[in-house]
Amino acid sequence: MSAGGLPPDRLVALLRTMLLIRAFEELADELFAQGRVHGTMHLSVGQEAVAAGVCAALQPGDYILSTHRGHGHCLAKGADVRRMMAEFLGKATGYCRGRGGSMHIADVAGGNLGANGIVAGGLPIATGVGLSIRLRRSGQVCVAFFGDGAANEGAFHEALNLASIWELPVLFVCENNQYAMSMPVGRAMRVARVSDRAAAYGMPGVTADGMDVVAVYTVATELVARARQGGGPALLECVTYRYRGHSKSDRQRYRAREEVEAWRARDPIDRLRARLLAAGVLSAAAANQLAAEARAAVAAALAFAEASPEPDPATLLEGVYA
């Protein structure tokens, strides 16, 4: 079996990535419910195909910039789940030494230039990363993840325009999960698709099924290759859905339970698993084993994080300046 030009082992790897993201966030949710997390968090449960599919299209040396809903991007880009969990719990061993938390996890060595608490805040920065790649002739590509809400910020317009006129190797990936907090995408803009806006910047705009990891991977691969070859930026809209609320304070008055259930029926993990089972790539036992491994990995990460020290208040001012 191969789909999107991917051999079976790559498809299994995509499944493994999505299972890890799901397991991380389900455990995160549980920790929050138990009052073991300080602060808030934004879960991407339901959106795993976008992170997994796009990051699978990248080389290890490529860059991503992530969003406040960034756990999936971080893991898909190859972050160490133990250091991520430690950051989630604010520990000294976390990626940001406890200074960033869920909303600002960065794995700079792994090419993840950080999750961002300001929607569209990362887009102009991604354009600058693209400029740097171009001037250093390093052959890398930069992906900027953002949500449908960010597409209505001014920074979106400025960043896409600048990247386009300078033909920079940046892929702008919109995770259209249907809601900017409570604002439905259809009430927040008059165009049918976020990708329609690409025309205004003279770049390709493509909409992909964000609940199908192979579809996301296929189109991302094409656009990343184009950017790497000097073809310039593109706007990829992945239509997806978040099953959970915007953040922990969300009572979800703006949508019906039936709507959530309808999207759950298209779950990206279930879909890929079913495909792999049908093709005989995976047995049911092997699929269950993958899920169990993901849960074990995050459980081990939690143990690591819990055994890690709190940051020392004496280090409070470290890192403000270089």
Partner 1 sequence: MSTATGGTEVGVRELSYAEAIREALRQAMHADERVILLGEDIGVYGGAFGVTDGLLEEFGPERVRDTPISEAAITGCAIGAAVTGLRPVVEIQFMDFITLAMEQLVLQAAKMRYMFGGTVTVPMVLRTPAGAGTGAAAQHSGSLEAWFAHVPGLKVVAPATPADAKALLLAAIADPNPVIVVEHKLLYRTRGPVPEAPAPAPLGVAAVRREGRDVTVVATSVMVPRALTAAERLAAEGVDVEVVDLRTLRPLDAETPAASARKTGRVVVVYEAVKTLGIGAEVAARLVEGETFYHLKAPVVRLGGAECPIPYNRTLERAAVPQEEDIVAAVRQVLAEG
Q: Which of 52, 85, 159, 213 binds partner 1 (CB under 8 A)?
A: 159
**Binding flag, residue 96, partner 1 (CB under 8 A):** yes
**Binding flag, residue 285, partner 1 (CB under 8 A):** no
For partner 1, give the closer residue by CB, 46 or 121: 121
**Binding flag, residue 152, partner 1 (CB under 8 A):** no
**Binding flag, residue 147, partner 1 (CB under 8 A):** no
Q: Which of 15, 81, 162, 290 binds partner 1 (CB under 8 A)?
A: 162
CB of 102 vs partner 1, minimal distance in Å? 12
Query: Is the separation of the CB atoms in 294 and 22 below 8 Å?
Result: yes
**Binding flag, residue 319, partner 1 (CB under 8 A):** yes
Q: Rounding to the nearest 10 degrees, give the CA dihedral for residues 51, 235, 208, 219.
A: -80
Would you give the binding string for partner 1 spanning residues 106-135, x where CB under 8 A is met?
A: x-xx---xx-xxx--x-xxxxxxxxxxx-x
Non-local CB neighbours of 176 within 8 Å, separated by 6+ positions: 147, 148, 185, 194, 210, 237, 238, 239, 240
CB of 267 vs partner 1, minimal distance in Å? 32
For partner 1, give the closer residue by CB, 93 or 240: 93
**Binding flag, residue 146, partner 1 (CB under 8 A):** no
For partner 1, give the closer residue by CB, 46 or 98: 98
**Binding flag, residue 321, partner 1 (CB under 8 A):** yes
CB of 64 vs partner 1, minimal distance in Å? 12
Give the footprint of partner 1 on residues 5-34 (CB under 8 A): none
Instruction: Quote the Cα angle for 25-287-57, to 5°.
Output: 65
DSSP states of 287-301: HHHHHHHHHHHHHHH
Q: Which of 33, 165, 274, 307 binds partner 1 (CB under 8 A)?
A: 165
CB of 45 vs partner 1, minimal distance in Å? 24
- C-alpha 214/C-alpha 5 separation (Å) is 9
Give the footprint of partner 1 on residues 53-92 (CB under 8 A): 63
Three-class SS of residue 144? Answer: strand
Count other C-beta atoms under 10 Å from residue 187's C-beta. 10
Q: Which of 154, 190, 280, 285 binds partner 1 (CB under 8 A)?
A: 154
Count other C-beta atoms under 10 Å from residue 131's C-beta. 17
**What does the buried/exposed string (b/e) look like for 54-92 if buried means 16 or more CB atoms within 10 Å of the residue's CB?**
bbbbbeeebbbbbbbbbbbbbbbbebebbbbbbbbbbbe
**Binding flag, residue 320, partner 1 (CB under 8 A):** yes
Distance, first Cα to last Cα, the chain = 51
**Binding flag, residue 169, partner 1 (CB under 8 A):** no
Q: What is the 3-state secondary structure (H, E, C) of 19-63?
A: HHHHHHHHHHHHHHHCCCCCCCCCCCCCCHHHHHHHHHCCCCCCE
Interface residues toward partner 1, by CB under 8 A: 63, 94-100, 104, 106, 108-109, 113-114, 116-118, 121, 123-133, 135-136, 142, 154-155, 158-159, 161-162, 165-166, 318-322
